[in-house]
Amino acid sequence: MTQYSAVLPAKITSNESSVKDQAIGIFDSGVGGLSIAKCIHQYLPNESLIYVADSLFAPYGDKSSTVIIERVNKLADWLIKQNVKAIVVACNTATVIAIDQLRSRVNIPIIGVEPAIKPAALHSKTQRIALLVTEATAINHRFLALVNKHKNGAQTIIQPCAGLVELIEQGLHESKECRLLLNDLLQPLLKNNIDKLVLGCTHYPFVGTMIQEIIGDKITIMETALPVTEQLMRQLSDNNLLASGDHVFQQTFFSSQVTHHQEKLMSTLFEKKSSLQPLPLL
């Protein structure tokens, strides 16, 4: 098994300051991870970002663990070759299935995304919470163990959301079709007196407004963009890797299946004009 190490000196000297200004790598099966990338840019505006949408293999939610692990390793290896200083696995499915083995392979900071189960359970007054996840996440043993560990006695309802990622990837996140699907997924949850709804996929915040309209203001939606960003900030600080104050932000977006539609969608979701480059065949 290939072992990768980044050049991370214990203490960066002035001659090595360029290491701090290396980009942060972020990847997802598609555009969903932009919800994480946007938050990172908001709180770390000097950091450059390389974002990879593995759209040729999207969605990960209906793929086998073997396929997901293979894709995660290939994407991480490619990002390391681009000299990224840290990697954010901006995908809940990829995190629960592949992050442990990825961390065993590489020696740069690897930040994953996990649903906000613990804070949801701690702050639930009805002691009933629901989690919206992909099909692969819903049956993953690591995810189920995480739920059991952090549910704090709360009743937890796990709702797989087949088809939702695909609609978002098609740019139909504001469509009537998307609203109908969300209504079908959410109505059964409302009958269970939940007061916290955890978004267990990085795509789902892009339909957060529509979800809130359906469930009403008495149920709190919880997602993980800010906790992931805070963990990234801690990791960069601990490794003396925060970008220098005068470093100018740059963004580079790649996709394993470039289309004009996706380029336009990514610019819309990231809220910044972005050009999309083809990811080399991996």
Interior/surface letters 225-248, b for 16+ CB within 10 angstroms, e for the rest: bebbbebbbebbeebebbbeeebe
Q: In the chain, what is the straight-line distance between the N-terminal and C-terminal CA atoms, in Å?
A: 17
| Coil/strand/helix, residue 170 | coil
Average pLDDT over residues 9-24: 63
Q: Is residue 62 part of a domain?
A: yes
Say what the pTM is.
0.89
Sign of the CA dihedral with 167 first, then 169, 267, and 271 last: positive
Q: Rounded to 5 degrees, what are φ and ψ at 229?
A: -60, -40
Do 107 and 232 fall within a single domain?
Answer: yes
Do 82 and 133 fall within a single domain?
Answer: no
Edge to edge, the sheet with strand 196-199 lists: 155-160, 128-133, 196-199, 220-222
161 in catalytic set:
no
Q: Is residue 15 part of a domain?
A: no
39 in catalytic set:
no
Average pLDDT over residues 72-101: 96
Q: Rounded to 5 degrees, what are φ and ψ at 226?
A: -70, -45
Q: Is residue 261 part of a domain?
A: yes
Do 55 and 179 fall within a single domain?
Answer: no
Active-site annotation holder among 39, 161, 178, 201: 201
| 132 vs 135: CA distance, rounded Å | 10
| 205 vs 199: CA distance, rounded Å | 7
229 touches 242 (CB < 8 A): no
Do 270 and 240 fall within a single domain?
Answer: yes
**pLDDT number for residue 4:** 42
60 touches 94 (CB < 8 A): yes
**pLDDT number for residue 274:** 85
Question: Which residues make beta-bridge pairs with 53?
Answer: 28, 255
Do 144 and 230 fall within a single domain?
Answer: no
| 243 vs 152: CA distance, rounded Å | 38
Given pLDDT bands bounded at 50, 70 and 90, which one contains residue 62? Answer: confident
For 263, the domain range is 20-113+226-278
**pLDDT number for residue 188:** 95
Given pLDDT bands bounded at 50, 70 and 90, which one contains residue 86? Answer: very high
Query: In the structure, how many helices (H) and strands (E) does the chain have?
Result: 11, 10
- Domain with residue 249: its CATH number is 3.40.50.1860
Interior/surface letters 80-89, b for 16+ CB within 10 angstroms, e for the rest: beeebbbbbb
Q: What does the mean pLDDT of the chain come to?
A: 92
**pLDDT number for residue 194:** 97
Q: Is residue 174 part of a domain?
A: yes
**pLDDT number for residue 17:** 59
Do 24 and 104 fall within a single domain?
Answer: yes
Average pLDDT over residues 239-262: 94
Q: pLDDT tens digits, residue range 63-79?
A: 999 999 999 999 999 99
For helices 34-43 and 260-270, angle between their N-to-C axes, nearest 10 degrees:
40
Q: How many folded domains does the chain comprise?
A: 2
Do 132 and 102 fall within a single domain?
Answer: no
Given pLDDT bands bounded at 50, 70 and 90, which one contains residue 237? Answer: very high
| 52 vs 34: CA distance, rounded Å | 10
Q: pLDDT tens digits, residue range 158-215?
A: 999 999 999 999 999 999 999 999 999 999 999 999 999 999 999 999 999 999 999 9
Is the per-residue pLDDT at 7 higher than 70?
A: no
Q: pLDDT tens digits, residue range 107-144?
A: 999 999 989 999 999 999 999 999 999 999 999 998 99
CA distances from 104 to 99, 124, 215 (A): 9, 35, 41
What number of CA atoms fall less than 13 Å from residue 246's CA on the CB side?
A: 2
Average pLDDT over residues 19-39: 96
Average pLDDT over residues 218-228: 96
